[in-house]
Homo-oligomer: A and B are copies of this chain.
Amino acid sequence: MEGRYMRHSQPGPVDTTSSPRAALKTLPFTDVSLLGGFWANRQKVNRDSSLKHGYEMLKEVGTHQNFLLAAGKKSGTWSGHRSRDSDLYKWLEAVAYELATRPDGELQEMADEAIELIVSTQAEDGYINTYYQHLAPDKRWSDIEFGHELYMAGHLIQAAIAHRRATGKDDLLQVARRFADYIGSVFGPDKHKVVPGHPEIEMALIELSRETNDECYLDLAEFFIDQRGYNTLGNRFYGSWYYPDHVPVREASKIEGHAVRALYLVAGVTDAYMETGEESLLHALETQWSDMTRRKMYITGGVGSRHHGESFGDEYELPNDRSYCETCAAIASIMWNWRMLLVTGEGCYADIIERTLYNGFLSGVSIDGKKFFYLNPLLSSGDFERSKWFGCACCPPNVMRLMSSMQHYIATGDENGMQLHQYIPSRIESIRDHKHIALSVDTNYPWEGLVRITIEDSHGGPWSLSTRIPEWCDKPSLRVNGKTKEPGTTKGYAVVNRKWAKGDTLEVEMPMEPRFTVSHPKVYANRGNVAIERGPLVYCLEQADHDASVNILDVEIDTSASLETEWHDDILGGVMVIKARGDSVDYGPWEDEIYRTLANGQSKRRPIHLTAVPFHAWANRGKGVMRVWISGAEIP
């Protein structure tokens, strides 16, 4: 069905324009342009440094070589984790988004080389996996739990879709489709039945269905989803909870297991709901979302409390020193929340995206774009720092693909108009039913809370401009063409419906007073502690801002003193710093004991000034002690 396959496709990771149960419709990625500011700077670093660094690393550690080996173009030793092929796929997806935005000869050449490598590696029957092709050609699908074959197929498919949407070229998509068709010939209701050991292919197949308009891929994704939850995985290492495979998808009420697996799965299930509208899926998704965001999410948006199995913990189990918070899990949470937002139009999902983007995700990459965190703890005793790459390097290229597709997450359209989810300086266009809308967003967010939206084109009829009022903002104000308007919110959005005309403005003002935050009393790790937040940013104390006479792990903050802000152009690429007051506490010598009878006079206190910086920027001045939660007071 070449005709259906060649339909108009929309650049970007997700295209919900034809999804029956998507309340919000994604906009063409290329119709959103970043116009400087916080994220444009980060995206530039990603393009100029991270992507090129990434390609070098892929070559250096042997990811390329694995493809050359599998393609029979070289002899040597296959190396790495069995998921390694996917590092190249995610990197390629990121490059595709960049190429959709602007030409870049160097990136284009790298991408062409990578695609050529992939094309030449694919087996006759469509299969690609350098490990099995090179080392164990007769063992395909023999290790569904840890072989990562279906997981990597998913990443190949996503990269191929991104590349086709970006360039219009079909070469990589044909490779991906041949692999998907081959997978469909092996697995299915009347064929081999398995549960993918690492979810990912579900999202990818459904997007492939959207891209090709071929429902067979949706059917295959649904088959994999329906198989899950009957304890067929988990007999070797962890239990079935890890995959997760212990509860059928429709009955799941808790978010459990390996965080990235669990979140890629629910993201795929959300995609399935958008296509099928099966209410039991949505109900299970909403219940799991509540479990995650109300009981298992760090203040940074980071998720996955346990090193053991890189997994979610129990309710309120959120240790700070041992928080795992894999960067990929933050990205997976953003992917899931984005899909939930598209389904429901509820601002609470965009709130979680914002919290995660500015904190638990962004901490994953250094300011220079060349070093990465795999884990993102909320407390460091000083021996933790970013690495330029990893043996299992899932996180760095995952950061790259999200960074290079930032445009995708800013706004959506629907029958009634346009919704602005993230405040990022940009120009946004939309054509729906031949009606043209264009607007520009001007703001110094996240450093300042004023957002000015100017209508640049409008089709003349009335339409609604919806702007999210973040959950952290309790006193927003709204001005339409300079005149104050009551900002009543619907689903977390201030909605202004009028006949918008070119030159009209909507201003949203969100006061950004720094604030102390406390956590649920059952989060034992945070008892008697407060965090500092300002706007969407979580702050931390970093040793680098304090002199050697102060150990920031031994300070108490004075929550009755006010917090002051100061712009510092000279550190961390320019940040708003928050000044606080507190005590430095000297607990005396403790080398020889761990427990001691309580007595007065064991500690000495002296008043000091404390300096807090955005959590996402920590560890950019060497490794050093850091804490988000600061001893202060019990909830008053």
Contact = CB atoms under 8 A, between A and B. Distances in A.
A634 B556 contact: yes
A521 interface: yes
Nearest to A526: B595
A134 to B, nearest CB: 21
A631 to B, nearest CB: 6
Contacts of A381: 522
Interface in A271-308: 293-295, 297, 299, 306-308
Interface stretch (A9-17, A208-216, A478-486, A512-520): A512-520
Given A306-B308, A602-B636, A636-B602, A593 B294 contact: yes
Contact of A319 (B322, B516, B594, B634): B322
Interface in A531-559: 531, 553-554, 556, 559
Contacts of A522: 381, 553, 590
A235 interface: no
Interface in A251-289: none
Given A317-B321, A527-B631, A520 B636 contact: no
Nearest to A593: B294
Interface string A331-361: 0000000000000000000000000000000
B379 A524 contact: yes
Interface in A566-620: 585, 587, 590-603
B520 A590 contact: yes
Copies of this chain in its oligomeric complex: 2
A363 interface: no
Contact of A518 (B520, B595, B634): B595
Interface string A406-417: 000000000000
B293 A516 contact: no
A524 B377 CA distance: 14
Contacts of A598: 515-518, 530, 559, 635-636
Contacts of A599: 636
A33 B530 CA distance: 56
A597 B515 contact: yes
Contact of A631 (B306, B520, B528, B587): B528
A595 B524 contact: no
Nearest to A307: B308
Contact of A594 (B313, B520, B634): B520
A308 B524 CA distance: 20
B299 A517 contact: no
Contacts of A587: 521, 635
B554 A595 contact: no
Contacts of A379: 524
A602 B307 contact: no
Contact of A595 (B519, B594, B595): B519
Interface residues of A, number: 59
A529 B594 CA distance: 14
Nearest to A633: B598
A243 B523 CA distance: 33
A509 B190 CA distance: 80
A525 interface: yes
B322 A592 contact: no
Contact of A322 (B317, B527, B597): B317
Contacts of A528: 527-528, 631, 634
A123 B585 CA distance: 66
B307 A636 contact: no
Nearest to A629: B524
A320 interface: yes
A519 B600 CA distance: 14
Contacts of A635: 585, 587, 598, 602-603
A631 B587 CA distance: 18
A356 to B, nearest CB: 13
Contacts of A237: 237
Contacts of A519: 594-596
Contacts of A515: 597-598
A520 B593 contact: yes
A256 to B, nearest CB: 15
B636 A603 contact: yes
A314 B321 CA distance: 10
Contacts of A596: 517-520
Contacts of A306: 307-308
A293 B308 CA distance: 25
B594 A294 contact: yes
Contacts of A518: 595-598, 602
Nearest to A530: B598
Contact of A308 (B295, B308, B527, B636): B308
Most chain B CB atoms below 10 A, which of A313, A591, A635: A635
Interface string A471-496: 00000000000000000000000000
A18 to B, nearest CB: 35
Contact of A516 (B553, B585, B597, B636): B597
A99 B433 CA distance: 92
A314 B520 CA distance: 26
Interface of A: 237, 293-295, 297, 299, 306-308, 313-314, 316-317, 319-322, 379, 381, 515-525, 527-531, 553-554, 556, 559, 585, 587, 590-603, 631, 634-636
Name the 8 nearest CB pairs between A and B, nearest first: A308-B308, A528-B528, A516-B598, A521-B587, A520-B594, A603-B635, A600-B636, A518-B598
Given A299-B595, A515-B597, 6 more contacts: A379-B524, A381-B522, A518-B598, A522-B590, A528-B528, A603-B636
